[in-house]
Amino acid sequence: MFDQNKHINATYESVSHMDHYIETVDRMRTDPEKKQREKKSFCKWCYYMSFVGVDDTKPCMACRTDVYGRVKVCTKCAQEHRLCVRCGGDLDMRPRRRKW
């Protein structure tokens, strides 16, 4: 049986997902929490898409010490080399920076 309310609710749900997505993209563009983001050593993608990924233990990409969480690099290496703790990339998203 056709239930109009189900489709209205589904519509609201999609709109709300879409709004959240647009908001997230906007935040990546404008980087309103830059200070806090850099303090935590996250690149823009990893910071604003923080809801992605699972917690587990693995060796740091740089020094091989075990790290736990949705991270690939330990805090020490991240700060020392200006890396993103989560993806191990450059904190400012410059793949061709002069010094790694």
- Positions touching Zn ion (CB under 5 A) are 43, 46, 60, 62-63, 74, 77, 84, 86-87
Measure the CA–CA gap between 18 and 77, rounded to whole angstroms.
36
Smallest distance, Å, CB 65 to Zn ion?
5
Q: Which is nearer to Zn ion, 48 or 60 (CB)?
A: 60
Residue number with CB closer to Zn ion (48 or 86): 86
Q: Which is nearer to Zn ion, 16 or 75 (CB)?
A: 75
- Residue 76 Cβ vs Zn ion, minimum distance, rounded to whole Å: 6
Least distance (Å) from Zn ion to the CB of residue 64?
7
Residue 98 token pair: 């002069």
80-92 as b/e: b if 16+ CB within 10 A: eebbbbbbbbbbe
- The 10 Å Cβ neighbour count of residue 25 is 12
Q: Is 10 helix (H, G, I), strand (E, B) or coil?
A: helix
Closer Cβ to Zn ion, 13 or 92, answer by number: 92
